[in-house]
């Protein structure tokens, strides 16, 4: 059941707001709001604060391409090889023309992430300072906050830092663990990932499996966050363990081929672990990407098309083969293929993490650890579930690795920018082939994998100078 949030949520989410350095985070403080003493006097008040922060995930900020977490993910999706974006919202991201210090993508991604981090720091401080919360309530609610903080620091690392395995050693964004209105200087890669891992590992230890609904954080969600970070850093033993724990270790219990064609708009779907809910009475529904952009039947933007080389990766019996030439475009035209994977409605929920991703993280980990038989078993759990005519894989060595990466592309296109994520972490680059509107060739460790530090942050923060962008 979708959660309807009351006024207290909105009040608590804005309470005690201080900036990290940006004007966006330094808004006037309310003078007649709910006080911290009330919010942190009981579990219900803290839960309301958390609900308010979670609402920010699915927020309405600057515009359609700068709205909430869904817009960060969709911008990554169109920067890959599989999707083709019309020159409307996200068109500049597709063209790799949205990374300069004064442009929308860096400004929004920085503001949005630090907005949530700031709220989480206020939440953590309030929990720690409370004399009325039980120790159990403190541990559970603080752990939710730490999990989200680690997650959002990871998003900043992905967008503003070089790849973990990269030799460039760019400066990483500032680290804030307490509410403050004073801007800090840039950090190092080691410091930044140390903070991410500390937050997430502590969160996992303090969380249970219980939660209100799939928009909330529990132990499995925090384990999924950790699995993504371990995969990104190449810590394969920990990636294997946390991914396995996050989906429960039973592939058949979490996979549902029949659900694949139902529109990816209901967070009660069996395969969804963490999601952003949407209700019809909220005003952000036209910012519900990928749905509003990729559904070409509903009254929406009709802005995203599918690369023909990517379409050719799917067999005719694969349940994920939902492509059609809806507009009767000529063969090879960039508008030839669309997909019906996502169905837009005014209450379309948005998937963030699904169980198949964790199965494939475990498969990749097993491959890197030399356990190719187990890697094939996990890979085929996905392949044979999606295509009842598929044959079990016999690939080995690098061919097996490439099959795992291809399966990730096929499974998650449009959802989370997984091919951009893989290209960055593996230093593989991105080469667009087929009928792309804009052909591009990003070499390994190309500077276009990183956003520049926003000029507004540089102007507002005396501890960050213009030189920070000199090698970006």
Query: What is the per-residue pLDDT for 283?
Result: 75
State how far Cα 75 lies from the chain centre. Answer: 10
Are 432 and 81 in contact, with CB atoms under 8 Å apart? yes
Distance CA 110, CA 452 (A): 10
SS3 221: helix
CATH number, position 102? 1.25.40.390
Distance CA 358, CA 244 (A): 7
Helical residues (DSSP H) of 183-322, grouped into ranges:
189-206, 219-233, 236-247, 251-254, 291-294, 308-311
Beta strands in 367-460 (DSSP E): 430-431, 441-442
pLDDT tens sequence across 427-458: 999 999 999 999 999 999 899 999 999 999 99
Phi/psi at 297 (nearest 5 deg)?
Answer: -105, -45
Are 453 and 102 in contact, with CB atoms under 8 Å apart? no
Distance CA 359, CA 240 (A): 9
Residue 312 located in a structural domain: no
Query: What is the per-residue pLDDT for 24?
Result: 34
Q: Which of 68, 224, 198, 194 is nearest to 143 (CA)?
A: 198
State how many domains the chain has. Answer: 1
SS3 321: coil
Distance CA 296, CA 104 (A): 26
- Structural domain that includes position 103: 7-275+351-469
Residue 393 located in a structural domain: yes
Q: What DSSP string runs through 25-49?
A: G-PPPPSSS--HHHHTTSHHHHHHH
Residue 337 located in a structural domain: no
Residue 404 located in a structural domain: yes
Residue 297 located in a structural domain: no
Q: Is 88 exposed, middle or buried (0-12, 13-18, 19+ CB in 10 A)?
A: middle
Beta-carbon contacts of residue 369 (< 8 Å; ≥ 6 apart): 236, 237, 240
Query: What is the per-residue pLDDT for 17?
Result: 37
Query: What is the per-residue pLDDT for 27?
Result: 34
The count of other CB atoms within 10 Å of the CB of residue 68 is: 23
Residue 343 located in a structural domain: no
Query: What is the per-residue pLDDT for 33?
Result: 54
Output the CA–CA distances (angstroms, integers) from residue 337 to 81, 312, 326, 353, 437, in the order listed.
Answer: 14, 11, 7, 26, 12
pLDDT tens sequence across 74-126: 999 999 999 999 999 999 999 999 999 999 999 999 999 999 999 999 999 99
Query: What is the per-residue pLDDT for 26?
Result: 37
Distance CA 425, CA 204 (A): 24
Are 58 and 276 in contact, with CB atoms under 8 Å apart? yes
The count of other CB atoms within 10 Å of the CB of residue 317 is: 11
Q: Which residues of the chain have pLDDT under 50?
A: 1-32
Phi/psi at 276 (nearest 5 deg)?
Answer: -105, 115
Q: Is 134 exposed, middle or buried (0-12, 13-18, 19+ CB in 10 A)?
A: exposed
Can you name the residues that pair with 324 across neighbouring β-strands? 338
Distance CA 421, CA 187 (A): 22
Torsion of CA 238, 239, 243, 246, to 10 degrees: 50
Residue bearing tokens 């030439």:
325
Phi/psi at 431 (nearest 5 deg)?
Answer: -125, 120
Are 385 and 257 in contact, with CB atoms under 8 Å apart? yes
Residue 225 located in a structural domain: yes
Give the pair of three-digit tokens for residue 368: 């890197």
Residue 342 located in a structural domain: no
């Amino acid at each position: 059941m979708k959660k309807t949030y009351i006024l207290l949520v909105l009040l608590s989410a804005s309470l005690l707001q201080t900036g990290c350095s940006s004007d966006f985070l330094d808004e006037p403080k309310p003078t007649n709001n709910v006080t911290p003493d009330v919010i942190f006097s009981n579990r219900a008040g803290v839960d309301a604060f958390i609900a308010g922060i979670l609402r920010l995930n699915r927020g309405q900020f600057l515009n359609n391409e700068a709205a909430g977490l869904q817009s960060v993910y969709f911008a990554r999706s169109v920067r890959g090889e599989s999707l083709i974006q019309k020159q409307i919202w996200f068109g500049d991201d597709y063209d790799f023309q949205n990374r300069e210090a004064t442009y929308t993508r860096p400004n929004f991604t920085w503001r949005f992430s630090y907005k949530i981090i700031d709220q989480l720091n206020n939440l953590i401080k309030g929990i720690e300072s409370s004399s009325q919360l039980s120790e159990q309530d403190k541990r559970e609610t603080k752990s939710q906050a730490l999990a989200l903080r680690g997650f959002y620091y990871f998003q900043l690392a992905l967008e503003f830092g070089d790849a973990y395995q990269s030799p460039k050693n760019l400066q990483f964004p500032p680290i804030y663990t307490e509410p403050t209105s004073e801007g800090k200087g840039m950090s190092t890669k080691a410091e930044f990932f140390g903070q991410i891992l500390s937050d997430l590992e502590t969160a996992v230890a303090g969380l249970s499996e219980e939660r209100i609904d799939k928009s909330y954080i529990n132990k499995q969600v925090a384990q999924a966050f950790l699995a993504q970070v371990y995969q990104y850093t190449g810590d394969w033993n920990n990636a294997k363990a946390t991914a396995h724990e996050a989906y429960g270790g039973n592939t058949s219990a979490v996979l549902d081929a029949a659900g694949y064609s139902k529109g990816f708009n209901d967070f009660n779907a069996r395969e969804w672990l963490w999601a952003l809910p949407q209700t019809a009475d909220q005003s952000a529904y036209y910012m519900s990407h990928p749905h509003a952009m990729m559904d070409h039947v509903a009254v929406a933007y009709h802005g995203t098309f599918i690369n023909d080389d990517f379409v050719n990766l799917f067999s005719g019996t694969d349940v994920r083969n939902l492509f059609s030439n809806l507009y009767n475009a000529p063969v090879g035209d960039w508008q030839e293929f669309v997909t019906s994977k996502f169905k837009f409605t005014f209450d379309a929920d948005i998937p963030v993490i699904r169980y198949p991703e964790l199965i494939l993280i475990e498969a990749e980990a097993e491959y890197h650890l030399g356990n190719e038989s187990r890697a094939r078993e996990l890979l085929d759990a996905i392949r044979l579930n999606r295509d009842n005519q598929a044959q079990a894989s016999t690939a080995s060595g690098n061919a097996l690795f490439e099959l795992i990466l291809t399966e990730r592309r096929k499974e998650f296109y449009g959802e989370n920018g997984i091919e951009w994520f893989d290209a960055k972490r593996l230093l593989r680059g991105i080469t667009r082939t087929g009928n792309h509107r804009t052909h591009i060739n990003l070499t390994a460790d190309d500077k276009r994998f990183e956003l520049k530090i926003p000029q507004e942050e540089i102007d507002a923060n005396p501890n960050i100078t213009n030189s920070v962008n000199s090698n970006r």
